[in-house]
Structure 1
Amino acid sequence: MLLPSQRDPADQKCSAQVVVLGDLGRSPRMQYHALSIADHGGRVQLVGYRDTEPLPDLVAHPNVTIVPLPPAPRLLQTSNKLLFLVFGPLKVLLQTWYLWRTLSYSVAPKWMLVQNPPSIPTLLVVSLVCFFRGTRLIVDWHNFGYSILALKLGPNHPMVKVSKLYETIFAKAATANFTVTNAMATVLKSDFGINAPVLTLHDRPADLYQPLANSERIAFLQRYPLLAEHFNSIVDGKVRLVVSSTSWTADEDFGIFLDALCSYSASATSSHPQLPELAVVITGKGPQKQHYLDKIKELRSGDSLEMVNIYTDWLSFEDYALLLGSADLGVSLHTSSSGVDLPMKVVDMFGAGLPVAGWSDFAAWPELVTENVNGRGFSSAEGLADILRELFDPDSDQLSHLKKGARLESKRRWGGEWDSIAGKLFGLVS
């Protein structure tokens, strides 16, 4: 291990390791952190799995070095509860070694910024590395690791209780903390007993996500092959474009969305014949994708989606931003395992000026969406179906009203939020 005396000579301004025990390309907030530090003249090592390519600006930035972590063997990845209890500890041991080796045998930075969750083994490893190197640790809290584990094992499982205790203990090792909501900051102070600074740093969209002019929207739709058959109808407003993104995991029940779309289709073919056809694009990768693809195929064969066309895709950052800017409505199924985290996908949608319908049955939702101004919340499949029927009724002006609110929300950007909170903490902004 390198000693504190072997510190990066560039750290008189700022040097940082930004650590994600996950796929860098699917960790937008941590990428934004790294890019903000680099753009302000700091030196950054971005550490994580390189399964998906990070933002092009990061890859090309002269102040950024991307350090890939070796992936754990696929054999150890399972959704089976019994196998998870066996394979899980083995996977953690491998991750602990890979993370320790990668972080320890590198030039010591002044700061280390780590994403949580995953908490195990991340918080233990980074706490030890920072202690031995004299590096200042900042934890960026996106959620709580124990609450996500509870989705798999149940809230009363002994491993969940141990995970919460572990997370509570190692949370105290940080010099400072960022949270994505005020509600999460309150929990850290009251339930975790953290005395170090806890600063709310709300997610905001990067400059990549922008409202589109009509000509830009048409240009994207013309070259997007997935929607070629609907191009003229979408441009004319006869087919409405709906977009959702997901990691296809247990904290997003896409069965709710499918039930809502079936209800909408039934209404459009019977009691509400004025309703338009929908083209729905769902983007993302994840473990439950095939399960839902099979379900969609079954619904199609039974004519339950007569007025709805569903497509799945994986796009580059640039094309995903253009898809959001071209859509009529974004949908979020994020249910929040802790009740105090928020889906970043909604932030990206607002960045593109896209109004949102989202699952709202958790405490932090009002910190993100202003009801009937830039979005609508629902807590059931029929609630989402009602929203779709109301917004896409040709005689209603509700969708137009929400679009105005979303465009106004799009003016709130990551740079301004980051500079005033993280930039000052890192000493990069006066």
Structure 2
Amino acid sequence: MLETFISIAFWLSSLITLVILVLLPTPYHPDPASRDESQSSPKNPNAKAKVTTQILVLGDIGRSPRMQYHALSIARHGGDVDIIGYHESEPHPEIMSNPRISIVPLPSHPAFLQTSNKLLFLFYAPLKILLQVVYLWNILAYRTKPARWLLVQNPPSIPTLAIASLVCFLRHTNLIIDWHNFGYSILALKLGSNHPLVKLSHWYERFFCRFAMVHLCVTVAMASVLKTKFPIKAPILPLHDRPASHLQPILDHQKRRDFILSLPESEDVRSSIVDGNIRTIVSSTSWTPDEDFSLLIDALCRYSELATTSKPYLPKILAIITGKGPQKEMYLRRISECKKAGKLGKVTIRSAWLSPYDYATLLASATLGVSLHTSSSGVDLPMKVVDMFGAGLPVIGWNRFESWPELVTEGVNGRGFGSSEELVDCLVDLLGDSAQLEKLRAGAYQESSRRWDDEWDPVAGHLLGFINIGSTNKVKKQTT
């Protein structure tokens, strides 16, 4: 009897051990046979193994420009990249054509799990997270080869940070968290800062962030918060967003006007464009609660009234709003109601979804950019403003958060506002006075010279082992 029990225990334990060994993810080991082509010559026996990186975006890859820029920078330096995320809209064309970059799509969750209803959100959220856990674990642990680095976009934090931390531990992969904002602060917009789920999210983010080897973040202000309020001992490197190379100013006024004329959104006002009696403003939005779009609608209604009744000349406005998101239809209905009520006589508002290059050309061709990003944490920055500066477009934006001055210099390359009334003042001042507008445009042109590669190379490029230059001192200063 005892021998039978021992025999069963032996075979059972052997089976369990075998299952564990089979199911455990394959760990990362540098492959000596995998070399960059430029280093594969027998004359260079000390060539380093190729840098392999996974980039995880728990969102639409095509609407995550910073993570796409990371991938392009890594690929340009000879590294191999897997981008893991939802493939809903077209990524940057260079992402699709680069042989060093592979897109690994996450399966889309059922549409019914996406809701703006607060009660349904509380019910659906656990189901959505459970599906995401299964999808992420399957892709990160089994469907992809182990990589040297895993770069994770945060937020969303749940369940990304937990799954990434565990996979990196099992696969001997180095985890990098790229902080765009704080997940708990965005959740607080929907549920309120005192909600138990927000507090749980705050704890979760603080707990799992400690497992990262390095932290990147979009502002110096965010780095300060991470250093003082999070239990992080690893290096924290500020890496500001900068525009990619396809975002460039267009100096030829005729080319700018011709592009605006070519857009379907300008069809109703083409005669005014030809006559020079209309100005084009552009705003990019994700149509989410952290951008109160009613500010712009109210301001445009008031501007239209002033353009109709005031003695100083104010041009008409063509406002082109780009982007996709959950609150789009709600705001479009409101715009339609304002138009029917005769409140937009001097203003034409159109929504659009453009290719990356058409969007870049629109920014370079417009008169003024508008940012409504209000910042849930106060220490992040809107990528749209970076893109606008890359195209030489002056910006007016919501400025009631701490990190705004890291991006915009008041009166030099843009102006800030904190209410709909102040937004109206900005529109009247700049569209009614070409001298003020040209001054800001000159500042935006100057800002356009600051590029992503200049920021990325000495920080992330040095971290990943691509760059070994005199900028090492700059990185050291940023980590202290």
Same fold (TM over 0.5): yes
Are 1:268 and 2:307 matched, yes or no? yes
**Aligned residue among 20, 29, 45 for 2:66:** 29
CA distance in 1 between partners of 2:404 and 2:235 (Å) = 24
Q: Shift of the alpha carbon at 1:260?
A: 0.7
Q: Shift of the alpha carbon at 1:129?
A: 0.3
Q: Shift of the alpha carbon at 1:213?
A: 3.0
Residue 366 of structure 1: aligned partner: 405
Residue 26 of structure 2: aligned partner: 3
Residue 3 of structure 2: aligned partner: none
**Aligned residue among 384, 387, 390 for 1:345:** 384
Are 1:197 and 2:220 matched, yes or no? no
CA distance in 2 between partners of 1:285 and 1:164 (Å) = 28
CA contact (8 A) 1:38 1:44 kept: yes
**Aligned residue among 168, 177, 185 for 2:215:** 177
Structure 1 unaligned blocks of 5 or more: none
Residue 392 of structure 1: aligned partner: 431
| Aligned residues with identical type, % of pairs | 59
Are 1:188 and 2:226 matched, yes or no? yes
Q: Shift of the alpha carbon at 1:301?
A: 0.8
CA distance in 1 between partners of 2:403 and 2:260 (Å) = 34
Q: From the superposition, tell whether residues 384 and 5 of structure 1 become closer, same or farther in structure 2 (CA, over 3 Å).
A: closer
Q: Shift of the alpha carbon at 1:236?
A: 4.7
Q: Shift of the alpha carbon at 1:136?
A: 0.3
SS at match of 1:172: helix
Following superposition of structure 1 onto structure 2, how do residues 224-373 of structure 1 map, counting pairs within 5 Å?
Answer: 224-234=263-273, 236-373=275-412
Are 1:20 and 2:43 matched, yes or no? no
Q: Shift of the alpha carbon at 1:107?
A: 1.1
Following superposition of structure 1 onto structure 2, how do residues 200-215 of structure 1 map, counting pairs within 5 Å?
Answer: 200-214=238-252, 215=254
CA distance in 1 between partners of 2:112 and 2:98 (Å) = 35
Residue 137 of structure 1: aligned partner: 175
CA distance in 1 between partners of 2:344 and 2:257 (Å) = 26
Q: How much is the aligned-residue C-alpha RMSD, in angstroms?
A: 1.3
Q: Shift of the alpha carbon at 1:226?
A: 1.5
Q: From the superposition, tell whether residues 332 and 5 of structure 1 become closer, same or farther in structure 2 (CA, over 3 Å).
A: closer
Q: Deviations over 1:292-327 (max 9, x none)?
A: 011001100111111110000100001000100110
SS at match of 2:242: coil
Residue 68 of structure 1: aligned partner: 105
Read off the aligned partner of 2:419 and give its amino acid letter: S
CA contact (8 A) 1:209 1:351 kept: yes
Are 1:91 and 2:128 matched, yes or no? yes
Q: From the superposition, tell whether residues 231 and 247 of structure 1 become closer, same or farther in structure 2 (CA, over 3 Å).
A: same
Q: From the superposition, tell whether residues 236 and 419 of structure 1 become closer, same or farther in structure 2 (CA, over 3 Å).
A: farther
CA contact (8 A) 2:25 2:170 kept: no
Q: Shift of the alpha carbon at 1:238?
A: 1.4
Q: Shift of the alpha carbon at 1:273?
A: 4.7
Q: From the superposition, tell whether residues 125 and 272 of structure 1 become closer, same or farther in structure 2 (CA, over 3 Å).
A: farther
SS at match of 1:429: coil
Residue 146 of structure 1: aligned partner: 184
- State TM-score, norm by structure 1: 0.98
CA contact (8 A) 2:73 2:453 kept: yes
Q: Shift of the alpha carbon at 1:2?
A: 3.3
Read off the aligned partner of 1:424 and give its amino acid letter: H
Read off the aligned partner of 2:320 and give its amino acid letter: V
CA distance in 1 between partners of 2:275 and 2:221 (Å) = 43
- State TM-score, norm by structure 2: 0.88
Residue 443 of structure 2: aligned partner: 405
Higher relative contact order (CA 8 A, sep 6+): 1
SS at match of 1:423: helix
CA distance in 2 between partners of 1:127 and 1:299 (Å) = 49
Question: What is the total number of aligned residue pairs between the two structures?
Answer: 429
SS at match of 1:334: coil
Q: Shift of the alpha carbon at 1:6?
A: 5.7
CA contact (8 A) 1:206 1:413 kept: yes
Structure 2 unaligned blocks of 5 or more: 1-23, 36-48, 469-480
CA distance in 1 between partners of 2:374 and 2:331 (Å) = 17
Residue 141 of structure 2: aligned partner: 104
